Structure 1
Amino acid sequence: MINKQNAILSLVLGALALIRPLMKITGLIDIFGSEAVGSIVMTVLISVVWIIIVLAIKVQNPIQVLVFAGISYAAFSIILSGILSPILTGELQGPLTNPIALVSVFITNIIWGLILGIIASVISHLEK
């Protein structure tokens, strides 16, 4: 069971990761040269920030927190897509239009959070 502090942290980290799709929507992602490169760079930067935050706060269970952060990000990005795609394109697009994509977004972000949580746990144990 995730405690209240870790739940809040997971939600904050998930919301923080929305910077990537927001940069894509606004075109700011192109400052990295291309959308593909920008997406990779931003994902790496977000990953590093997530790990630094859980290590700095000395979270007891970084795997749990970062898996839930991945779930939070997946939910937030799906909601953001559902709100913005009709406004920007005139029709609903994205994971909400495809059940397989919807599941895929959650699985991908759970795996992302799990990998980062394992990395943070290993670093945390090495620091002790």
Structure 2
Amino acid sequence: MTTQVSRLSWPLIVLLGVFALVRPVLNITGAVDALGRPLGPVLVTVVISVVWLAAVVWRRSARPVLTLACAGLVYGVLAVALSAVLPPLLRGELMGPLPTPGGIGVVMVLLANAVWGATVGLVALAVRSWWQPNGR
């Protein structure tokens, strides 16, 4: 497993994780409300997922499931950090997973985003096998 992780494209993983920060930024600033709820957050999540999917298929990532699970974890860590900084500055109060008792909120954010990334990675495998049946 260590060898697989070390052979991943970490610049791509970090770039995809950072790109996904558009989601909490739009939420924290209230900009997502312009799209309406619940459509706004869902639409933003779908756009991020499509970008992630396209990136690993286009780059022909050897391990799209692991790559995107790691991107989800990077995003989760950055989103938790962002939620510790932006809401107090913009709204004067701590929001997000940090105020939850026992750190369970942070664990759930990391788990949910790793699962999100892995799920998009599974879709990428299916798309790649359909689009490139010989694996080229």
What's the TM-score once normalised by structure 1's chain length?
0.91
- Residue of structure 2 in register with 1:90 after alignment: 92
Deviates more, 1:85-94 or 1:57-66: 85-94
- Residue of structure 2 in register with 1:100 after alignment: 104
Cα distance, 1:5 vs structure 2: 5.6
RMSD between superposed Cα atoms in Å:
1.5
> SS at the partner of 1:97?
coil
Tell me, yes or no, if the aligned pair for 1:24 and 1:35 is still in contact at 8 Å. Answer: no
Cα distance, 1:68 vs structure 2: 0.2
Cα distance, 1:36 vs structure 2: 2.1
Structure with the greater alpha carbon radius of gyration: 2
Residues 28-72 of structure 1 deviation map (CA, whole Å, 9 limit, x = unaligned): 21332x142110000001001100011111111101110000001
**How many angstroms apart in 2 are the aligned matches of 1:60 and 1:4?**
9
Q: Counterpart amino acid of 2:58?
A: A
What's the TM-score once normalised by structure 2's chain length?
0.86
**How many angstroms apart in 2 are the aligned matches of 1:27 and 1:119?**
30
Return structure 1 stretches of 4+ with deviation > 6 angstroms.
Answer: none
Q: Does 1:109 align with 2:113?
A: yes
- How many residues were matched structurally? 127
Q: Counterpart amino acid of 1:37?
A: L
Q: Which 5+ residue runs of structure 2 have no aligned equivalent? A: none
Out of 29, 33, 41, the position equivalent to 1:30 is 33
Report 1:49-88 matches (<5 A).
49-88=51-90
- Residue of structure 2 in register with 1:16 after alignment: 19
User: Aligned residues: percent identity?
Assistant: 35
Q: Counterpart amino acid of 2:14?
A: L
Q: Counterpart amino acid of 1:93?
A: M
